[in-house]
Each structure stands twice: as structure tokens, then as C-alpha cells.
Amino acid sequence: MKHAARLGLLLFITALWPVAAAEITLPKLEMASRGRVDNGDFVLSSMISADIALTGGYKYAFLLGFTLDAPDIAKAFSSRNFRIEPINNGGAGPSDDEYNALADKLNNQATLGFRVAKATARELFGRPLELSYFLGEGDDFCTGDEFSPRFGLFPISTDFRGFFYFPEGIGGISTRQYNGIHGTRGTGFSLALTKWDNFVPMLYLYQDFPGLKPVTGATGVYVFEDDYLYSGDLRLLFHKNWLSLEAFGGASLNSGMGSSVRGGLMLHFAAGNGAEFFAQGGVPGWTRGENFSIDNLFFLIEPRLRLGRFGMSVTFFYHPLEYLHIRTDDEKGKANINVKFQFGNPDSGFVGGIETGGDIKLDGSEDFVLRIAPFGSFISGGLRWDAKIRIMPLEFDTPEKVIEFFIGVRTAF
């Protein structure tokens, strides 16, 4: 982790050296904490994500991103006062208690990690071309986030994502979050044709990071996959009046000649009378030779209604079995529904409301989880402050799970 931070700092300093007159901005900053009772103790888990952007006018830009994750901030700070001592027990392996204590320390560290470095050149060779070279987490597909900077739109993406809604993350790993149908991860290039005002085709060629696979017979132990993935994606963005549309398709090939394909579509339209509709649907990944089923699908629909200061939305989200090349069996057949009522101006001033919804396993393997959550948010000084109390009334048999708290701050410009 230290090496990753040093690499990011070196990249940043290298970029700064020839462009002292460039402008440094913070396009993204998000900080969130969750408070809950765990084994009789009140526990705070937190995450911070920040991007540093270096721009020199319109024609070039450099982006550097970091993420800090702290599943249990109290344990993370306490652990800094101790070190892991070598075991000297005659060659015998550690006991269960010793292993679990080590796992608890490692899993609850506060870690600062390098996330992305991206350099972009616009109007390449005087042509309507945009070339980017990226390391780490590249662009995410079908989120809707790209339409604001590209076409000057108000945000159209769903709020039903991230730490506030999925604090356990994907498969119990809080750092793994759904954000769109697919995303580029690795080292590579993207090329965009910016000839048209309302249509942008983009091509991505990159080498994915190697995946991890569990070691047979060893709980919680993973090793790197033997084969690297070489990937390519074609992405299309379109906006016209009330319609915004994004589509992509891609494939990955490993050195053993195994292949997987993916594709998806994002749709948003505004009827002009306060009614909107947002949808994402597609296949994040399907490996050739495997059976294809509904479990391969990523599916989210969200009708919205806005009447003056009143707004509501209904969201249904079906989880895919595979996401970003990682198969997570716990996600099979899982779905969420969320109904949100709010009052106020989301762009300025205070917004409050209540949302209710829950989780369901379509195969019936888990009980339905009901949640009721009053929330509030306001914008001040370019920052949006959010707070939510989440109540699980059906968990009365385990009172410590009935209520949890969330607070977060993110950039709002």
C-alpha cells in the first residue's frame, strides 16, 4: 500500500513539473461514516474518496485519485499502537484464535490506496479526437455521470448506489460497490471522437488487472489468477432534448484463449411535466462455455416524479452474479426495492424526507429485510451534507440490528 501511495505521489509530481501554470482542482471529494452496534459495541466504519485534477486550459488534463477506507475506525487507530510479532512455535501453524486476531487487524485497517491516474489530450493533431491514458480505475459505463461534463446536463444518475445504500458492499466487502454496469480497470488507452455535439463514440483498449481466486480448502485465502485479461470496449453516448442514451459492448480474452463478453444500455428521459424515467440494463460479464441465465443480468429501473418542491422515486435493482470479472455467489438472486419521498430543493437549501424498501432473495433462501429511513441533506460552501437514520423493524429479535446511522459529506459543484 505504501508503494501505491508513493507511485501516485511520483506521478503527480512528475505531472506538475512542466506545467507550473496549470490549475489544480478537487473535482470529487466524498466522506461517509456508518454507526451501528456490533457485538454490544458501537462501531464506526468510514470511507473517503478524493480526486485531484490538474488542467491546463481545454486541451489537456491530468487526474489523480485516491481512496481511504476504514471499516472500523476505532480498531484502525488502536492497532497503530501495536505490531504483529513473529510466531515461534516450532513450525506449527497459528491457532484459530491467533489467525482470527490477525485477520481482524488486517481487515479493519485504515488504508490509503492509489485509485486512478489519467492523462487526457483533447483536439489531438488539430482533429476532433480525445486521447486518454489511464492507470487503475478508468471510466465506469452506464452510470449517467458522463452526461453532465459532456453535455452540460443536470445530474441524471440514480442516488441508489454507494456506501449510504450498500454499506456492506458486494459480497460483504465495503470497498466493492456497484457503479454502472461495467468499468475499465487496468492499464490502457481510450479514444473519443468529439466531432458531433450530441453524439460521442469511444473506444477502449486495456489490460485488466489479474483476478483473484479462492484457494481450495483454505478459508479466506486467495491467489492471483494465472491468466491476464486483455480487453476492448466500444461505448456510445447520445443526448438530444429530453433523451439521454448510453450503450456499450466489449470482450475480454485471456492468455489461455478463454473469452468473456459484456454489454449494456442506460436510458434517461424527461417528459417535461416533472416525470422522468431512468434505467440501466445489461450483462456485466458472461464467460464463453458457461450457461447463461437471469443471474447474469444487471437491471435497475427508476421512475421519478418532481412537482415543485415535492419529489418521489421508486427504484428496483436486480444484482448480477458477476461484476467486474468477479463472481460473487452471495449476490445470486438478490434484489432491492426502494421508495423515496422528499420535500425541498435538492440544488440549494434543505431537503428532507423518508424512504422505505428492502432486500429480497428471489430464491427464498433469505428472509425479506425491511428498512425505513428518514433522511435530510443541505448544501453549504460547495459541499453537500447528508444524514440518515436507517431502521429495520423486522429485526426485533436482535435489537442491536434495528437501527444504524449514516452521515456523509461530498462535493456539490
* Digit-coded pLDDT (tens) for 72-130: 666 777 776 766 666 666 556 667 776 677 777 777 777 777 888 899 988 888 899 99
SS (H, E, C) 137-151: EEEEECCCCCHHHHH
* pLDDT at 289 (0 to 100): 83
* pLDDT at 59 (0 to 100): 64
Q: Is 353 helix (H, G, I), strand (E, B) or coil?
A: strand
C-beta separation of 278 from 302 below 8 A: yes
- Long-range contacts of the stretch 75-82 (C-beta < 8 A, 24+): 75/104, 75/105, 75/108, 76/108, 76/109, 76/110, 77/110, 79/105, 79/108, 79/109
* pLDDT at 190 (0 to 100): 96
Q: Is 253 helix (H, G, I), strand (E, B) or coil?
A: strand
CA 255 → CA 5, 159, 186, 231, 244, distances in Å? 30, 38, 16, 11, 37
CA 158 → CA 126, 162, 266, distances in Å? 36, 10, 11
φ, ψ at 68 (rounded to 5°): -115, 125
C-beta separation of 14 from 22 below 8 A: no
* pLDDT at 407 (0 to 100): 94
Residue count (the chain): 413
* pLDDT at 1 (0 to 100): 45
C-beta separation of 250 from 263 below 8 A: yes
Q: Is 330 helix (H, G, I), strand (E, B) or coil?
A: helix
* pLDDT at 290 (0 to 100): 86
How far is 351 from 376, CA to CA, in rounded Å? 6
Copy the grid coordinates of residue 22: 496549470
How far is 93 from 150, CA to CA, in rounded Å? 56
C-beta separation of 321 from 334 below 8 A: no
How far is 239 from 260, CA to CA, in rounded Å? 29
The Cβ of residue 142 has, within 10 Å, a number of other Cβ atoms equal to 29
* pLDDT at 263 (0 to 100): 97
How far is 400 from 413, CA to CA, in rounded Å? 38
What's this model's pTM, rounded to 2 decimal places?
0.83
* pLDDT at 103 (0 to 100): 72
Copy the grid coordinates of residue 389: 437514520
How far is 125 from 392, CA to CA, in rounded Å? 58
How far is 249 from 327, CA to CA, in rounded Å? 19
Q: What percent of the chain has pLDDT over 70?
A: 80
| Burial grade of 288 (CB within 10 A; 0-12, 13-18, 19 or more) | exposed
C-beta separation of 264 from 141 below 8 A: yes
Residues of the chain with pLDDT under 50: 1-2, 4, 15-17
Residues 6+ apart with CB under 8 A from 290: none
CA 237 → CA 182, 196, 247, 318, 377, distances in Å? 15, 11, 7, 24, 31
C-beta separation of 71 from 108 below 8 A: yes
